[in-house]
Amino acid sequence: MSQGETSEAQIAVHWQEEDYFYPPRDFVAQANLTDESVYDRFSLDNFPNCFKEYADLLDWYEYWDEILDTSDAPCYKWFKGGKINASYNCVDRHLARNKNKTAIHFVPELEEEKVEHITYQELYVRVNEMAALLRDFAGLKRGDRVTLHMPMSAELPITMLACARLGVIHSQVFGGFSGNAAADRIEDSGSRVLITMDSYYRGGKLLDHKKKADEAVAKAAQDGQVVDKVLIWQRYPGKYSAQTPLVEGRDFLVNDELKNFYGARVEPERMNAEDPLFLMYTSGTTGKPKGCQHGTGGYLAYVTGTSKYVQDIHPEDVYWCMADIGWITGHSYIVYGPLALCASSVIYEGIPNYPDPGRPWRIAQNLDVNIFHTAPTAIRALRKIGPDEPAKYNYKFKHMTTVGEPIEPEVWKWYYNVVGKGQAAIVDTWWQTETGGFLCSTLPGISPMKPGSAGKGMPGIHPIILDDEGVELPRGAGKAGNICIQNPWPGMFQTIWGDRDRFVTNYFARYCKNPDSKDWRDWPYMTGDAAVEAPDGYYRILGRIDDVINVSGHRLGTKELESAALVVEEVAESAVVPVKDDIKGVTPDMYVALKPGFEASDELAQKVINALISEIGPIAKPRKVWIVPDMPKTRSGKIMRRVLASISNNTDVGDVMTLANPDVVETIRNQVQK
């Protein structure tokens, strides 16, 4: 982090170490993993061979011959020589014993609409037909990239699995993102096909989603990437339900075209283990999102292993992860991991509090969900608006997950006592888009839980905390530093799409002592988070150390937000800082200074908000836009975000006398803290 910036870690809540909670006995009795020797089997001495256990959870066309190839470190190849298909592993291989089992429960947001229960056999049929359409109608083939901009729907995993069947690399963009945000990802990935849906429900309203496809295609064309086909699923099959008209020769209704492929079967491609499976874009320290490239064999092995041992998924479980499939959590822990294990995975279209805060618990009751997975931001919101709702419904969770941001011990205890009714094991899983699967968590059948702490490194994941100079902090010291992972693991991303240099610079350069080394020991992975390790080896994550803000568990790059504000012509400068928030964890405050000749007004502040929504999406909406006379700056002209963050968070701004314009600090403080 550069001097003068601010970080989440600096405003982090430093709560006390809490006492242990022990997993319920009936949970342990049925858990997939209760053998504590797993930590020995996955010790650093047994690295990398330990991960054979995960690979063996999958079906391979050809078994691999080299577990880890480091010859191009830090771009690693896992399970080299292996041939595998992810779609086969998530669908076909379950048919022999479980074809009539529900693979996907799709729950529409409107409660009066029917829940769809898709069996593994039906999933197989629909994935094959879609794969045939993608191949024969859209002309897609192995290695091509395709952008998906789809809402929560059964058609989303069907499309992903159809791509995986063909070896087409999917890049799903979160449905709530704007057309402009989709365009950047279309352009970066070089997609000539965009797959979307006409509409979807959110908060009781049917949104016109196809409109965003038009924006995305137009903007991508400006940036030099031509999309020649837009494939549109219908929210109501057979009925087009968006206002935006179809573009002749470019837009095609999937539900119509599919009729030509009814009954089609597509042989899965025998992919190399290291071939890319998908791209997932995430925010970084520059304005341009990074396409995290995930491989096939390593990724699938890692999410399957962690779904089995941390999510404790058995084939008879009904598993509901409330995340959006447009984020990595949904890819790994709604689609690939649970389906590889033959679970029934719930996909809910809408928002948790529609039409009332009892909704999630009604869904749980009606579908007999026994594994539940969500983020602290949702838990905080449900606790605030419906603290007594869970007790009204008859469901029993054996297991619950929290993911995406630090969870306050108070909120954790509500989750445990009220949502879990004191009967569920909880895991707090810390990980990232880049890491494919969990990095730190307790093992639910083995370890006690500690509210507010993620837990130890996962089996085979060996964290260390380094100071700014790269010196390792003593183990269990309870001191904050930069948490890194010493070793590679199969779920780790392979590179940033098309930008190996950025991959190396962003994640490894700071702590790599020998950039020519082919030894993984020389390449600790820098996560970008600050953390402390307690004497028991549990990690508490404090937040980002870089220019990334984690709002409601979603990553926003401050540079992305700042450059979106600069789209407004009156704005001369912009600066974004994280502010503590009761529901969202942190939320951005946006400071802007105007060009000469313009006056501050509420309309102008609204214009900035609108720009953020149209450039990125509603999740980028700041708490407040502050139009200030000038930014606090160093003598060399650098904006002092740290000072702005202190003002926004009502903390001490420290010594500002060395600034070029110390007087403005008082002016801004009066404006913000009035």
Residues that bind ligand WT7 (CB under 6 A): 282, 327-329, 403-406, 428-433, 454, 527-529, 541, 543-544, 550, 553-555
Query: Is 125:91 a contact under the CB 8 Å cutoff?
Result: no
CA 397, CA 272: separation in Å to the nearest integer? 38
Residue whose pair of structure tokens reads 């060996």 in the numeric block: 462
CA 145, CA 124: separation in Å to the nearest integer? 22
Least spacing, CB of residue 2 vs ligand WT7, in Å: 19
CA 43, CA 548: separation in Å to the nearest integer? 32
Least spacing, CB of residue 416 vs ligand WT7, in Å: 15
Distances (CA, A) of 232 to 195, 219, 247: 6, 18, 11
Find the residue with minimal CB distance to ligand WT7: 433
Q: What residue spans of 202-358 are helical by DSSP H?
A: 210-222, 254-257, 297-309, 328-330, 337-340
Least spacing, CB of residue 585 vs ligand WT7, in Å: 9
CA 254, CA 234: separation in Å to the nearest integer? 7
Residues 6+ apart with CB under 8 A from 659: 632, 633, 634, 635, 640, 643, 665
Tell whether omega for the bond before 355 is within 30 degrees of 0, i.e. cis: yes
List beta partners, residue 348: 107
Least spacing, CB of residue 455 vs ligand WT7, in Å: 9
- 208 phi, psi to nearest 5 deg: -80, 105
Tokens standing for 657?
Answer: 């006398």
CA 169, CA 504: separation in Å to the nearest integer? 22
Q: Which of residues 303 and 343 has its CB atom nearest to ligand WT7 in the complex?
A: 303
Least spacing, CB of residue 399 vs ligand WT7, in Å: 15
Nearest to 13, CA basis, from 449, 464, 649: 649
Q: Which of residues 124 and 525 has its CB atom nearest to ligand WT7 in the complex?
A: 525
Q: Which of residues 280 and 627 has its CB atom nearest to ligand WT7 in the complex?
A: 280
SS3 of residue 627 by DSSP: strand
Q: Which of residues 108 and 481 has its CB atom nearest to ligand WT7 in the complex?
A: 481
Least spacing, CB of residue 586 vs ligand WT7, in Å: 10
Least spacing, CB of residue 494 vs ligand WT7, in Å: 16
Least spacing, CB of residue 427 vs ligand WT7, in Å: 9
Q: Which of residues 123 and 325 has its CB atom nearest to ligand WT7 in the complex?
A: 325
SS3 of residue 406 by DSSP: coil
What is the residue type of 270? R
Q: Which of residues 23 and 406 has its CB atom nearest to ligand WT7 in the complex?
A: 406
End-to-end CA distance of the chain: 31
Least spacing, CB of residue 55 vs ligand WT7, in Å: 23
Least spacing, CB of residue 488 vs ligand WT7, in Å: 18
Q: Which of residues 293 and 550 has its CB atom nearest to ligand WT7 in the complex?
A: 550
Q: What residue spans of 478-536 are helical by DSSP H?
A: 500-507
Q: Which of residues 180 and 442 has its CB atom nearest to ligand WT7 in the complex?
A: 442
Query: Is 394:364 a contact under the CB 8 Å cutoff?
Result: no
Q: Within a 10 A sphere around the Cβ of 519, how many other Cβ atoms? A: 9
Residues 6+ apart with CB under 8 A from 267: none
Q: How would you class 582 by CB atoms within 10 Å of its CB: exposed for 0-12, middle for 13-18, buried for 19 or more?
A: exposed
Query: Is 551:174 a contact under the CB 8 Å cutoff?
Result: no
Q: Which of residues 269 and 434 has its CB atom nearest to ligand WT7 in the complex?
A: 434
Q: Which of residues 527 and 574 has its CB atom nearest to ligand WT7 in the complex?
A: 527
Q: Which of residues 68 and 152 has its CB atom nearest to ligand WT7 in the complex?
A: 152
Least spacing, CB of residue 99 vs ligand WT7, in Å: 32
Least spacing, CB of residue 491 vs ligand WT7, in Å: 12
Q: Within a 10 A sphere around the Cβ of 474, how many other Cβ atoms? A: 10
Query: Is 123:91 a contact under the CB 8 Å cutoff?
Result: yes
Least spacing, CB of residue 547 vs ligand WT7, in Å: 13
Residues 6+ apart with CB under 8 A from 105: 115, 116, 117, 118, 318, 344, 345, 346, 347, 367
Least spacing, CB of residue 249 vs ligand WT7, in Å: 37
What is the residue type of 190? G
Q: Which of residues 50 and 292 has its CB atom nearest to ligand WT7 in the complex?
A: 292
Q: Which of residues 7 and 344 has its CB atom nearest to ligand WT7 in the complex?
A: 7
Query: Is 639:633 a contact under the CB 8 Å cutoff?
Result: yes
Q: Which of residues 74 and 452 has its CB atom nearest to ligand WT7 in the complex?
A: 452
Least spacing, CB of residue 432 vs ligand WT7, in Å: 4
Least spacing, CB of residue 8 vs ligand WT7, in Å: 7
Q: Which of residues 289 and 632 has its CB atom nearest to ligand WT7 in the complex?
A: 289
Least spacing, CB of residue 549 vs ligand WT7, in Å: 10
Residues 6+ apart with CB under 8 A from 278: 160, 163, 164, 169, 170, 171, 172, 294, 331
Query: Is 537:450 a contact under the CB 8 Å cutoff?
Result: no
Q: Which of residues 89 and 432 has its CB atom nearest to ligand WT7 in the complex?
A: 432
Distances (CA, A) of 84 to 61, 295, 363: 6, 11, 35
Q: Which of residues 361 and 493 has its CB atom nearest to ligand WT7 in the complex?
A: 493
Q: Within a 10 A sphere around the Cβ of 511, how many other Cβ atoms? A: 17
